[in-house]
Structure 1
Amino acid sequence: MTNPPAPAPVPATTPAPSPAPASPLLSAEGLRVSFPGRHGAARARAVDGVDLDIRRGEIVALVGESGCGKTTLARSLLGLVPPTGGRVTFDGAPLDYSSRALKAYRKRVQLVLQDPSGSLNPRHTVYDAVAEGLRIHGYGGDERAAVAEALSLAGLRPPERFFLRYPHELSGGQRQRVVIAGALVLRPELIVADEPVASLDASVRGEILALLLRLRAELGLSALVVTHDLGLAWNIADRVAVMYLGRIVETGEVAEVLTSPRHPYTQALLSVLPEAPGAPVVLTGEPPDPSRIPSGCRFHARCQILAGGEAERAGVADACRGQDLPVLGGGGGAQVACHWAATGATTPAGT
């Protein structure tokens, strides 16, 4: 009896290559925005070297104290403030600042402002407020149907019930939904939301955040959410970029940055949240004048790590005071601009 033939050797399989990361929808590269100083003073460097990418369907939170440059950065990404250095690209093409090109660009990228009461003309009905963008851009379709669809997407249903109302007849949450509908009516690919829930009651904030997440899921919408609230970033964002004095000082996936912050500034911002362990970190003084950015790490004058001696023990105190840090890349990997964090330390001794 003959033995059965040996099975043919199974050829080794080559693992499928990892898909290349998607190119960003919106990208800032080495972006700088400065403004003339008063009475011959040095120019104020509001945005002083920023790389930032936003991919399709991604929500990025840009966080930091008031005055750190985040709103100027957002306005520059929208084409409202031309950069003094670097560039903005959208869908692979550099942003063109001619009037005609910007009009086409703003059909694809829309702004949602912080204060819905200030964003809406009190003399205009809800219908006119939402239809305004269609009229500016010469929409040739059924205007009434487009307005109704936008209001429905924003959670105002049935939409016809709101057509003839005025802003003063609406609640704060309803007004913010009208503002969002006005942005959605043009079917943008990306929205820039500047403190979208800061003026709303706590009970309404969750509804607006849930709405933004639903719009991302249903429409594939990308978003840059500008906020000082790290709790909001945790609830809505895929990635977070922490900004201080014109630069991004820490960035990465939101869960990674907010559960294991490496930059002392991020640690201080997180320490004041109600659920944060330990005592809050109270930063001394105000952020420096953007026309007189300090040498070295721009946070060093307020840094609790340097003040507490941790940077000295790690051997980086002189670098903190005198050695500038590079601009962080705009992609999705975890990055931090901090001499102390670069030593591998992320938590001060004794905490």
Structure 2
Amino acid sequence: MSEDQQPLTEDRHAPASAPPDTTPPLLTAEGLHVAFPGRQGAPTARAVDGVDLDIRPGEIIALVGESGCGKTTLARSLLGLVRPTAGRVSFGGKPLDYSSRALKAYRGRVQLVLQDPSGSLNPRHTVYDAVAEGLRIHGYAGDERAAVAGALSRAGLRPPERFFLSYPHELSGGQRQRVVIAGALVLEPELIVADEPVASLDASVRGEILALLLRLRAELGLSALVVTHDLGLAWNIADRVAVMYLGRIVETGAVEQVLSAPQHPYTQALLSVLPEAPGDPVVLTGEPPDPSRVPTGCRFHVRCQILASGEAERAGIASACRNEDPAVLGGGSGEQVACHWARAKVPG
């Protein structure tokens, strides 16, 4: 097992690995909304419905939530692939410019890693061509062969020349994902957005890819937004976690704080189904979220186990849960929760 394939260890959050809280954000989303008009008069789907989020240099953030909560739409809007209906995305302190030339330059600094390496790679292209594609699109004027070899090597495919003429079907799933990562690294980006980066991989390979992402952060100072429904993955890789529900971030903070002592009932429900979680799994009531029918008040209240059990009524906040929308959480690194019940428990 090579150095980049070592399993994850418990010191993944060593103080030197995460940026200090005073570091200015690399990427910022402010009041971000993305809505999609319904067909034939159907209601508008509010896929992203008010999000503030900061990502600092060298920081790994896990964006977690169940399918349909808006994670991928938020990620695509941060990449400039979906233009927000309202709000803005800023990179390096400057608002994102949606002109073709500006977006091309931006995507050289912010790269996407998709969950399915087989679908991301053209089966007719060799590994060399797959990795070199970004260089050719961006008019790279340096030594292409050296850049491709360096990217493959950093992604853990060594010696890189051995893989140049290979085709995707000749590689394992883990090797294909490393090729996808190399294709993102070849342009030397400052931030990668990884959408379910290990969801399609065998359990034996997942740890290798996560360890690779951590090593790239340590060696290159790379920032990452990792989109996932897997809280175990978030625990293993992230400095900070943002829990998303029905288009909005409902809890955020340091990963140890949020996943060890979750405050929002939705986060508690997500954690309760993990194999190692104490007690019985929380069974949510109501229908799965529908972004075209966001309820009044707290958007989670129709499925909330705290409201369903009568605990919110006893705490005197049931009416607020049904009628008062908690404010959009700030984008910073402090622990925050959009929940009337959780806030009622805080002294003072």
TM-score, with structure 2 as normaliser: 0.93
The answer as to whether partners of 2:61 and 2:225 remain within 8 angstroms in 1 is: yes
- CA apart distance, 1:128: 0.2
The equivalent residue for 1:332 is 333
Cross-structure match for 1:286:
287
Partner of 1:125: 126
More divergent stretch after superposition (287-296 vs 326-335): 287-296
- Counterparts of 1:1-351 in structure 2 under 5 Å? 21-344=22-345
What residue ranges of structure 1 are gaps of 5+ in the alignment?
Answer: 1-18, 347-351
4+ residue runs of structure 1 moved beyond 6 angstroms?
Answer: none
Q: Which amino acid aligns with 1:194?
A: D
In 2, the alpha carbon distance for the partners of 1:99 and 1:40 equals 32
DSSP-derived class of the 1:249 partner: strand
CA 1:160 to 1:20, structure 2 compared with 1: closer, same or farther past 3 Å?
closer
CA apart distance, 1:288: 2.9
Aligned residue type for 1:311: A
Distance 1:195 1:240 in 2: 14
Secondary structure of the residue that 1:218 maps to in structure 2? helix
| C-alpha distance in structure 1 between counterparts of 2:290 and 2:298, whole Å | 14
Decide whether the 8 Å contact of 2:69 with 2:289 is kept in 1: no
CA distances 1:249-285 after superposition (whole Å, capped 9, x unpaired): 0000000000000000000000011111100111134
Pair 168,25 (structure 1): closer, same or farther in 2 beyond 3 Å = same
Measured in 1, the distance between the counterparts of 2:284 and 2:159 equals 48
CA contact (8 A) 1:122 1:166 kept: yes
TM-score normalised per structure 1: 0.92
> Equivalent residue of 2:61, what SS?
strand
Which residue does the alignment assign to 1:14? Answer: none
Amino acid paired to 1:173: G
Number of matched pairs: 328
Q: Is the 8 A contact 2:33 2:50 kept in 1?
A: yes
Contact 1:245 1:287 in 2 (8 A): no
Higher alpha-carbon deviation: 238-247 or 285-294: 285-294
- C-alpha distance in 2 between matches for 1:246 and 1:208: 28
Output the CA distance in 2 between the equivalents of 1:284 and 1:169: 46
Separation of aligned partners in 2, 1:295 and 1:345? 24
Contact 1:28 1:89 in 2 (8 A): yes
In the aligned structure 2, how far is the partner of 1:288 from the partner of 1:237? Answer: 26
Q: Is the 8 A contact 2:269 2:284 kept in 1?
A: yes
Query: CA offset at residue 22 of structure 1?
Result: 1.3
User: Does the Cα contact within 8 Å between 2:21 and 2:333 map onto a contact in 1?
Assistant: no
2:15 paired residue number:
none
Q: Distance in 2 between matches of 1:331 and 1:280?
A: 31
Q: Contact 2:68–2:289 (CA<8 Å) still a contact in 1?
A: no
Q: Which has the larger radius of gyration?
A: 1
Q: Give secondary structure in 1 for the equivalent of 2:345.
A: coil
DSSP-derived class of the 1:343 partner = helix
Helix, strand or coil for the counterpart of 1:329? Answer: coil
Counterpart residue number, 2:10: none
SS in 1 for 2:178: helix
Gapped runs of 5+ residues in structure 2? 1-19
1:6 is matched with which residue? none
Cα deviations by residue, 1:145-188 (Å, 9 ceiling, x for unpaired): 00000000000000000000000000000000000000000000
Partner of 1:10: none
- Counterpart CA distance in 1 for 2:292 and 2:276 is 36
CA distance in 2, matches of 1:328, 1:234: 21
Q: Give the distance between the partners of 1:119 and 1:345, measured in 2 at CA.
A: 46
CA drift of 1:20 comes to 7.4
Equivalent pair of 1:195/1:225 in contact (CA under 8 Å)? yes
CA distance in 1, matches of 2:283, 2:207: 28
The percent of aligned pairs where both chains have the same amino acid is 86
Amino acid at match of 2:77: S
The CA deviation string for residues 15-74 of structure 1, in whole angstroms up to 9 with x for no partner, is xxxx87111000000000000101112211000000000000000000000000000000
Paired residues of 2:194 and 2:227 also in contact (CA < 8 A): yes
